[in-house]
Structure 1
């Protein structure tokens, strides 16, 4: 379904409640499956987390996780230790093009029984759950943090725990630290020193406890963009957020200061306020927060300023090749973009075409990142409900701010 976004103006002050973080929810759902004494609140209402919940409670021999990349990685590890169970893990056409070999090789090194159903190195995979006796494995440090987190999440259930060595420069530290912090909150011991992460085995039941999932910072990024494109004095209050967040995308606070957006935190809420216009060229290394690259690129394009974004090597293997998609859609609107395998350069432009139809490539972040342009011009978002992957109420929330949207 295509949505037409008419040129809009938003209220001076507004509030939005954002669902729990998809990243935290998916980690905690897997940990809850391993430790049923864990109770969870504010779980994400995203498609990905719903698919994760369904897969973890499924008794089927075939588990289909559709487009949910995080679920594919985490469940590969989870099913590999479910003794006596055989599962074929599959997904969408795009999922079958997304590599899984690095994780499978690491699990096999620990003793897992995993084989490929189709193409070597890619889903679908057949997993025969068993006890994993070994506890030492190495991975290249610049791989997706989801491979690393998948291993850390099951580590305490391995009879000898896990010692994971990361070779080279580690690129996704915030997501690794998020996983370790959640283990710590549950009472599972871990150590992260230099390039070695170790997790102690846990044979006891844990003390029953309730954990509240922090709201999603990636979802907050679109409101940072909206405030950056608004008049001085406009403010949006978002909840529920922690001042010292585990999520790498909380880097938004510092990044958007460069666009004249200040963030004030109190009582598990943050207030975003436009305090100045700052239209100087921008340059950011997003190696620790690649999911906000689309938001930042569109903000800069809307403001008519150039930007250099680096550290984006993981965007090639997301729901779509996000660098190519960004270049294609921004250039439709009249911009000019150069990309490499890990960077994007946007040239300053003085005008934006009206009424352009933005393709979303089955990628929720393409739809959400381009929507703030409606503060500048009319546009169409194709397949707009792709947002349900991470933020099902996105369009209703934008409408509550004053965005004019017709279906």
Structure 2
């Protein structure tokens, strides 16, 4: 499904939006619920990824296909490795078979797991023979994807002797590690994170728990971008958010102050408002090593505002649904921008022109579709394979229409 977005303006009278629960929190809590059935979940994400995770944890099938869900692939690799006596084949889309998982598999093998590669060494699909793991010490490079680290931490309380995880070097994506540890603590599991050593104690069972999942901050990023491109005075209210969030992407509230957008917290909601226009000579430089998922949104915001920017800390973007750095470069340059990329950074030159009627390719990546959508406030464009947003935000296009975007097939 390709969607045409005409140049639009925001309707301030219809700008209240309910965003589904965080995909990151949902997938962690779903795995914990599989271990501890007394956990009750409220405001679960309605994303494809969380649906895939939920189905995989409840199926009795021998073959489990996670499609494009990278988080599910990492978490389920760890989960099935400790399901004693159960054998599964864990597979995914063609792109998933290109996404490395060797670091996690090696760590699990160190703990005693029985995992084999079925096609290419270091990549899915995997054949996993579940067993009880008694080893409890493992070391990882600290700059690896936080999902590898979280996968190990989530199964740790079900290991006979818990887990002692040592991280070597500078740690990246720290907020996601803290999110995992906070959720473990919330259900009564003892953890510690001192210097570069994380310890998780074993726990066989827990008492009844209700966990309320905060709405997804990554999904809110597109509305921050929309506000940045809107007239001064435009505002949108989003639910349900906490001022003291577990999600690393909550740094959006601070980052978008640079674009003249303020955030007010009230009654588990946020009101975001365009307060001022930004000076065209402003140079934006941001280290996103703790929040790489919002890089696409910020890059497109800067391009649309004609700002020069330098975004760094993006080394994990190459192994996402697509190589996001390369995809950003290709699509922004279609629109008339000038982008250069390295292994972990993106530089954008200030641009005075935005081409119209450009078709944006989305590369099976939900964030490509949603990050470029706010450009409809400046020009008309086409989003190819727009249905890809269902991976994290199925109602995205409906919500945009409700606030004034003119969208047609």
**What TM-score comes out, normalization by structure 2 length?**
0.99
Q: Match of 2:371, SS? A: helix
Distance 2:12 2:385 in 1: 30
Distance 2:338 2:226 in 1: 22
Q: Match of 1:357, SS? A: strand
- 1:174 aligned onto 2:170: no
Question: Does the 8 Å contact 1:304/1:350 carry over to 2?
Answer: yes
Find the counterpart in structure 2 of residue 316 from structure 1: 318
Q: Match of 1:156, SS? A: helix
Find the counterpart in structure 2 of residue 76 from structure 1: 77
Q: Match of 1:237, SS? A: strand
Find the counterpart in structure 2 of residue 262 from structure 1: 262
How far did 1:151 drift? 0.3
Distance 2:315 2:209 in 1: 38
How far did 1:4 drift? 0.1
Question: Does the 8 Å contact 1:12/1:233 carry over to 2?
Answer: no
Please, which moves more after superposition, 270-279 or 243-252? 270-279
Distance 2:365 2:150 in 1: 23
**Cα deviation 1:149-188 (Å, max 9, x = unaligned):** 0000000000100000000110111000000000011011
How far did 1:12 drift? 2.4
Find the counterpart in structure 1 of residue 235 from structure 2: 235
Distance 2:381 2:283 in 1: 25
Distance 1:210 1:106 in 2: 32
Distance 2:356 2:106 in 1: 49
Give matches, 1:1-400, under 5 Å.
Answer: 1-13=1-13, 14-203=15-204, 205-279=205-279, 280-400=282-402
**Cα deviation 1:94-134 (Å, max 9, x = unaligned):** 00000000000000000111111111100000000000010
Query: Runs of 4+ in structure 1 displaced over 3 angstroms?
Result: none
Please, which moves more after superposition, 295-304 or 6-15? 6-15
Distance 1:176 1:26 in 2: 14
Distance 1:171 1:63 in 2: 30
Distance 2:334 2:90 in 1: 38
Question: Does the 8 Å contact 1:65/1:72 carry over to 2?
Answer: yes
Distance 2:379 2:210 in 1: 45
How far did 1:281 drift? 1.6
Q: Match of 2:16, SS? A: strand
**Cα deviation 1:353-401 (Å, max 9, x = unaligned):** 0100000000000000000000000000000000000000000000000
Distance 2:324 2:278 in 1: 26
How far did 1:207 drift? 1.0
Distance 2:173 2:308 in 1: 26
How far did 1:278 drift? 1.3
Question: Does the 8 Å contact 1:99/1:121 carry over to 2?
Answer: yes
Coordinate RMSD, CA, aligned: 0.5
Distance 1:368 1:195 in 2: 36
Distance 1:310 1:100 in 2: 24
Q: Match of 2:259, SS? A: coil
Distance 2:349 2:166 in 1: 41
Distance 1:329 1:117 in 2: 35
Distance 1:191 1:405 in 2: 49
Distance 2:335 2:94 in 1: 29
How far did 1:27 drift? 0.2
Alignment coverage as a number of residue pairs: 406
Unmatched segments (≥5 aa) in structure 2: none
Unmatched segments (≥5 aa) in structure 1: none
